[in-house]
Structure 1
Amino acid sequence: MSFDLETLKAAVAAHGRVARVVVASAQGSAPREAGASMLVWDTGQSGTIGGGALEYDAARLARETLANAGRDHVHRYPLGPALGQCCGGAVTLVTETYDAARANAIDPRAPFLRRFGGPETAPLPLQRALRLARGEGVAPRPQLTQNWFLEPLVTPTRPVWIWGAGHVGRALVHVLAPVPELAITWLDTSRDRFPDRIPENVTVLPTEALATVLHRAPKDADHLILTYSHALDLDLCHAALTHGFASVGVIGSATKRVRFRNRLTALGHAPEQIDRIICPIGNTALGKHPHAIALGVATALLAGQARPILAKGREA
């Protein structure tokens, strides 16, 4: 889990001063892991640290802090004795308040280290983690040591290109856009095919000749192809096989897979490369509703399964 600075800035722009509550450490059985966080403002919140009573009390304290211009603080919850939760562990939360000036002062290029008391200099384990991050690019894990807290800042590192802004494309963007590690590019043939509201972290690229821009995708991108046209889908598969990719999934059926295989073979692609293209996408056990397809695809994508990431459907 990482500090999502862009989401924080967007919340501050929308709501003014915002409190960020993050799980700094968790021992034993706990609802969420270190680094899980939520944002809280006077009339709402986003994200979750889990745990029902834990989240309710943490949000209450965060709003009190905002209302009273209170200081950032660290609070430890023994979940059973303090909150009556069945979890047998303990959670330590860090609560900080942000306005635009404070959020903009955070350096997005480096892990975020701050002090809530304790020694004047950062403990040696955190200093070593910082050196590894700066010198070798090794992202640190979220860790609280002697009231010093270190978090990595999230940077989108996994490119996902979604081809098509129809019902399934919109469902996929809705499901995947909140995941901060994903760098999503969304493409279709014209701007009016997209919804009016686009998530801030999604890059929209309308272009009439879709296949001609596939070469702009990183060669480690995951491609989800679900345009309104079988001919377009085929052109995109051909372009992807020519360019290179991490995975390609195509909406359709077993029959479509066979037809595409024959046509791609005629275009000169090797069978072992064509077999890397998965069609149909999603988990057929979930059904064919656009959000059901999106959930199946997203589950496989985020589970970190071996690529190709999208399970083949049953034969028709």
Structure 2
Amino acid sequence: MSFGRDTLSAAIARHGRVARVVVADVQGSAPREVGASMLVWQTSKGFAQSGTIGGGTLEFEAAKHAFSAPRLQRLPLGPAMGQCCGGTVTLLTEVFESVAAIPEEIFARGPGDMPFSVKKALSKARAQGFITPKLHGDWMVEPITRATRPIWVWGAGHVGRAIVATLAPLPELAITWVDTSAERFPETLPKGVTQLIADKPEALMDYAPPEAEHLILTYSHALDFELCHRVLSHGFAFAGLIGSRTKWARFRGRLRDLGHTDAQIARICCPIGQPELGKHPQAIAVGVAAQVISGRKITESYGERTG
């Protein structure tokens, strides 16, 4: 897990002062790992949050007291919280009004002079290019997460909405969501999602970075086909199309007619996700999310799916 600087910045812009609660250390069994975190902000009814540190009494109490809790709390989950995990969790709670002082790569902070163990960890991180979240005495060290994977979702129908809602909380994903009118999108967009509206969405393909991953699932087979043609001409890291075997067979033939080779066409994954999970939008979203997270390309045929 990493420190989501962009996510925190967006929360501050929307809610003002935001408390961040992170699992800083774990001894024994616990519901979440070191680095798991949640954001908490005050509302007229008390508090609200995003993210999770494991649920249950631990999470409720941490969120409820986020603006008054000590910076570090060591909590036995059994005796103190009545949770069955039985381990001990140390929580670090910090309140932010700005991200200006938070660095771009690694966030190391604590009281007093920086301990030698932190200096050693930072030196090792510079040499190896990565660092894991860890509590060093009273000092916490975390890598900073930035949205580094551009995901373009073409279509804001039921499946598109389910997929975006499932993927949006992942801090490394920079999601661009495209459709033909504002009415096709939900009233409130998930945080961090960029909305693009165009009468001819296919014309926006030229603006997608060549390393983008594309999920094509519009309301129109004609538009789906045009997007497949354009993504093959444009360049991409991954492209997935929702559709049945019949739809994809027709698309393959027409794409060949436009000059695309079989090897190029085979780079488009159809159907996307894990069709054996079912056709419900949320089931499709779960399969697609697993595919995106793992980076797997699923090419086997699992039967017909309406596209």
- Quick one: distance in 1 between partners of 2:103 and 2:301? 41
CA contact (8 A) 1:281 1:313 kept: no
- Quick one: distance in 2 between partners of 1:209 and 1:129? 51
Query: Paired residue for 2:146?
Result: 155
Distance 1:311 1:180, change over 3 A: farther
Matched, 1:263 2:254: yes
Cα offset for 1:292?
2.1
Query: Paired residue for 1:314?
Result: 302
CA contact (8 A) 1:112 1:152 kept: yes
Query: Paired residue for 1:223?
Result: 214
Query: Paired residue for 1:113?
Result: 108
Distance 1:214 1:132, change over 3 A: farther
Q: How many residues align?
A: 300
Query: Paired residue for 2:194?
Result: 203
Letter of the aligned partner of 1:260 in structure 2? F
Distance 1:200 1:82, change over 3 A: closer
Letter of the aligned partner of 2:290 in structure 1? T
Cα offset for 1:141?
1.5
CA contact (8 A) 1:29 1:89 kept: yes
Letter of the aligned partner of 1:29 in structure 2? S
- Quick one: distance in 2 between partners of 1:32 and 1:295? 21
Distance 1:230 1:32, change over 3 A: same
Q: Secondary structure at 2:61's aligned position in 1?
A: helix
Query: Paired residue for 2:9?
Result: 9
- 1:271-298 Cα shifts (integer Å, max 9, x gaps): 1221221222232233222222112211
Q: Secondary structure at 2:291's aligned position in 1?
A: helix
**In the alignment, which of 114, 118, 122 is matched to residue 126 of structure 1?**
118
Matched, 1:290 2:285: no
Letter of the aligned partner of 1:292 in structure 2? A
Letter of the aligned partner of 1:121 in structure 2? D
Distance 1:203 1:11, change over 3 A: closer
CA contact (8 A) 1:283 1:313 kept: no
Letter of the aligned partner of 2:33 in structure 1? E
Q: Which runs of 4+ in 1 moved over 6 A?
A: none
Structure 2 runs not aligned, ≥5 long:
none
Cα offset for 1:48?
1.0
Structure 1 runs not aligned, ≥5 long:
66-71
Q: Secondary structure at 2:72's aligned position in 1?
A: strand
Cα offset for 1:89?
2.6
Aligned positions of 1:65-80 closer than 5 A? 65=69, 72-80=70-78
Q: Secondary structure at 1:152's aligned position in 2?
A: strand
Aligned positions of 1:245-260 closer than 5 A? 245-260=236-251
Return 15-24 or 247-256, whichever deviates more.
15-24
Distance 1:250 1:262, change over 3 A: same
Q: Secondary structure at 1:97's aligned position in 2?
A: strand
Question: What is the TM-score when the length of structure 2 is the normalising length?
Answer: 0.87
Return 246-255 or 265-274, whichever deviates more.
265-274
Question: What is the TM-score when the length of structure 1 is the normalising length?
Answer: 0.85
Percent identity between the aligned chains? 55
Letter of the aligned partner of 2:93 in structure 1? T
Cα offset for 1:313?
4.2
- Quick one: distance in 2 between partners of 1:206 and 1:61? 41
Q: Secondary structure at 1:62's aligned position in 2?
A: coil
Distance 1:270 1:88, change over 3 A: same
Query: Paired residue for 1:69?
Result: none
Distance 1:187 1:132, change over 3 A: farther
CA contact (8 A) 2:154 2:216 kept: yes
Letter of the aligned partner of 1:34 in structure 2? V
Query: Paired residue for 1:280?
Result: 271
Cα offset for 1:190?
3.7
Return 49-58 or 19-28, whichever deviates more.
49-58
- Quick one: distance in 2 between partners of 1:59 and 1:190? 38
- Quick one: distance in 1 between partners of 2:186 and 2:128? 37
CA contact (8 A) 2:67 2:95 kept: no
Matched, 1:58 2:62: yes
Cα offset for 1:312?
4.2
CA contact (8 A) 1:224 1:248 kept: yes
